Amino acid sequence: MQRLFAQASDWIEHRTGLPSAVRHFLFEDIPASSGWPQVFGSVALFLFLVQALTGILLSFDYAPTPGDAYSSVSYILRKVAGGRMIHGLHHWGASFIVVVVFLHMAQVFIYGAYKKPRETTWIAGAALLLITLAFGLTGYLLPWDNRAYWGTMVTTQIIATAPVLGPYLTTLIGATNGIGVLTFSRFYALHTLLLPASTALLITIHVYLVRRHGITPRPDDIAEKQKFYPRQAFRDVLAVFIAFVMLFAAAALIDVPLERLADPTDTSYIPRPEWYFLFLFQLLKLFQGSLEPIGTVVLPGIAVAALFVLPFVHGRHLKFLDRRLASAGVVLLVFAFWGALTATAITTSPRQNRPTLVPPEAVEWAQISPEQIAGVGYFRSSHCDSCHNLLTGNPKPGPNLASSDVHHSKEWLIQHFRNPEKMKTRDAAPDNHLSIPQLNALSLFISGLKPDSASLMQTISPDYIAAAQTYVVGACASCHKVNGIGGGVGPSLNGLSGRRSKEWIKAHFAAPQQLSPGSIMPPYHFSPPEENRLIAYLLSLPD
Amino acid sequence: MSQATENHASSGLERRNFIRAMIYTLTSLIGGTLAASVGTYLFGTPQVETDSWADAGDVSELQPGSPQLITFQRSREDSWKIHNEKASAWVILNNDRKLTAFSPLCTHLGCAYNWQSDKHQFSCPCHGSIFSATGQVVSGPAGRPLDRYEVKLEGSRLWLGPIKNSQSA
């Protein structure tokens, strides 16, 4: 067995040189004074790899368009096996990276490891820090919930205030006309293409430079150098393991926030950035009016510039940083300033005035008639959205349905769906295969659209839409009223949850006359999921 | 070599071996946990409802022995979307009044097949698979009989459920 292994190793060595490259890497000479403070670089690298892995996995199930992004994230969280874990690792991993990258930089700063000849190593690292923050910023938009939408709204407005560059940057991120599909696509492209490629390149350069110049020894370290493997390798692996256990626990125990679908008309929403940007958020409050660019651009700009020029100005102007204690003091001061701003932001920001997480049964949907809810589903399945926007979006050939000045009657709409050529429209609606009740539902949905209801319609869960469609196809409205609409033969279904149990409704579907003697309701035999969805919907109807 | 130096060297070696073992153990733990998470994510079954039933229409006019292609509207959960779409089925009423509904796709490579009334058989235009009126393979490359919908009758209305794959011949 051992001989076979040696032979295989020889074969690979002869052809690729890989085993000797690994040995060369592991048996690097490092200063004897290296120890625990030097582990953060490896932990950061490991976390970047976890982000890459989980990011690729998420992209397998993620639909990168504003129309589908939210539903697909919700699908990953609620339906994909292990989806919550992978999403959690990616979400919390982002925060972990920020913490570890800052710890890594603090250690390098305190140990003076950025000084000649390691200036370029520091600059590559500083660029990686900015990329890490850019990852956080662009990834924040991708779930397309209210938090994402409104948080990014503030970010794009901040970017727009940059002197000279503002308008160009705004065009570059596709936010000239507010946040829309273009902003979304650009953020997605940055997050999944440009930033990962830049990260890979910079990490390669950074690690190469670390290898080239070696780890910075303590000034008094005159001991014989030691090998990286196994002692320092063990410290690195143990630190990586601790970080991984913490990340895994966070992913398993803390739910990733997914709020309501992005709602551009929600004026009550209080946007808040990710925690590591809160200090900036708070800084802006200190500079009002014409001084605002100082907080948005000038101070952050100076901080970034200081980061990059630090290794060059240190020798002549910042002699005091030669003392490790002084450097540690500077780091402490920076962290204290950052911590104070962050803490103030947390304590002084008003709380959201209503629960922001999606409740299991969103009561707002229950106010809409089942026909209209079902209409949302028919609107999507008949691909009406290929030619019509509901409220916002890129220009499409058909009119914008919620904000259009022209309002057609239901009858006109049904003719438009069934026989578009006869109607006076420039572009015909394609043929569809909806039945009369389904067409009715679709026309009710479209004729009832208003700007404020359009965005609410987009938040309705697929389960509710499916339930409402069952309601429409089952012609329940022939006999029952919901929210005042429907026939009067049977009882109104509003407030059903106060009168009947789930089991009763189930039994009633199967044999109505047994439970309601004299009822003319025919028996309904739904599939179990269909029945469960319909009952959940009926029980959520308000009084 | 003195006894003390020897002891020192051997305890150094033990320590080195312990550290090595720890490196392997911790790396394996991280790798194993990640691999298990990735495996669950990639190969686990998503909780998507696949057994929805659809009203496929009135079948009181159906003649025994002669299959009929029917189309119907159904809703299908497709990951994060629910499609309301047109679907079709070949429905045949046996002489003993038993209804069977075949999936309209050939079990070889998924082409749509046709009914040849003169030969009283289903024939696939792609690779020439032939199926009998009961869905059994008569000839051609298809490896198993036609797949069937689950069926139930409500009066004269036919309800079609999920498609059950037929067993290999």
Q: Exposed, middle or buried, A260 (CB in 10 Å: 0-12/13-18/19+)?
A: buried
- Which tens digit of pLDDT belongs to each residue from B120-160? 999 999 999 999 999 999 999 999 999 999 998 888 888 89
ipTM of the complex: 0.83
- Which tens digit of pLDDT belongs to each residue from B2-21? 566 666 667 778 888 999 99
* Relative orientation angle of helices A83-110 and A119-141, to the nearest 10 degrees: 150
Which residue is closest to B43 within chain A, CA to CA?
Answer: A81
- How far apart are alpha carbons A191 and A201 in whole angstroms? 15
Looking at per-residue confidence, does A162 or B38 come out higher?
A: B38
pLDDT of residue A356: 44
A10-14, A48-52, A319-323: range with lowest mean pLDDT: A319-323
> What confidence category does residue A355 fall into, taking pLDDT thresholds of 50, 70 and 90?
very low
Which residue is closest to A433 within chain B, CA to CA?
Answer: B86
* Residue A257 CB partners (closer than 8 Å, separation 6+): A147, A356, A357
Which residue is closest to B20 within chain A, CA to CA?
Answer: A230
A174-183, A226-235, A430-439, B99-108: range with lowest mean pLDDT: A430-439
Q: Which residues of B44-69 are buried (b: 16+ CB within 10 A; e: fewer)?
A: eeeeebeebbbbbbebeebeeeebee
- Which tens digit of pLDDT belongs to each residue from A488-524? 788 888 878 777 888 888 888 988 888 888 888 888 8
Q: Quick one: average pLDDT of A340-361?
A: 67
Is the per-residue pLDDT at A244 higher than 70? yes
Looking at per-residue confidence, does A285 or B49 come out higher?
A: A285
Chain B positions contacting chain A at CB under 8 Å are 16, 19-20, 22-23, 26-27, 29-30, 33-34, 37-38, 40-42, 44-49, 51-53, 55, 73, 75, 77, 79-86, 152, 154, 159, 161
Q: Specify whether the CB–CB gap between A350 and A421 falls below 8 A.
A: no
With vertex at residue A261, the alpha carbon angle to CA A437 and CA A371, rounded to the nearest 5 degrees, is 10
- Which tens digit of pLDDT belongs to each residue from B80-89? 887 777 899 9
Is the per-residue pLDDT at B100 higher than 50? yes
Classified as helix, coil or strand, B61 is coil
Contacts of A113-122 spanning 24+ positions with Cβ under 8 A = A113/A215, A113/A216, A114/A310, A114/A311, A114/A314, A115/A311, A115/A314, A115/A315, A116/A311, A116/A315, A117/A213, A118/A209, A118/A213, A118/A216, A118/A311, A119/A311, A119/A312, A120/A209, A121/A206, A121/A209, A121/A210, A121/A213, A122/A310, A122/A311
Contacts of B33 in chain A (CB under 8 A): 244, 248
Is the per-residue pLDDT at B76 higher than 90? no
- Which tens digit of pLDDT belongs to each residue from A92-114? 999 999 999 999 999 999 888 88
- How far apart are alpha carbons A199 and A124 in whole angstroms? 10
Is the per-residue pLDDT at A461 higher than 60? yes
Which residue out of B17, B23, B53, B84 would a mutagenesis test of the A interface target, given it has the greatest number of A Cβ atoms within 10 Å? B84
> What confidence category does residue A319 fall into, taking pLDDT thresholds of 50, 70 and 90?
low
Task: Name the minimum distance, in Å, from the CA of A237 to any CA of chain B.
Answer: 6
Longest dimension (CA), chain A: 99
pLDDT of residue A367: 66
- How far apart are alpha carbons A472 and A493 in whole angstroms? 14
pLDDT of residue A374: 87
Q: Specify whether the CB–CB gap between A94 and A250 falls below 8 A.
A: no
Which residue out of B41, B48, B83 would a mutagenesis test of the A interface target, given it has the greatest number of A Cβ atoms within 10 Å? B41
Task: Name the minimum distance, in Å, from the CA of A225 to any CA of chain B.
Answer: 17
Contacts of A438 in chain B (CB under 8 A): 73, 84
Looking at per-residue confidence, does A198 or B48 come out higher?
A: A198
Tokens 């008094």 sit on residue: A220
Is the per-residue pLDDT at A320 higher than 90? no
pLDDT of residue A357: 44
Contacts of B80 in chain A (CB under 8 A): 63, 68, 71-72, 74-75, 79, 462
CB atoms closer than 10 angstroms to residue A5: 9
> What confidence category does residue A426 fall into, taking pLDDT thresholds of 50, 70 and 90?
very low
pLDDT of residue A403: 64
Is the per-residue pLDDT at A414 higher than 90? no
| Subunit contact B82:A72, Cβ cutoff 8 A | no
Is the per-residue pLDDT at A364 higher than 60? no
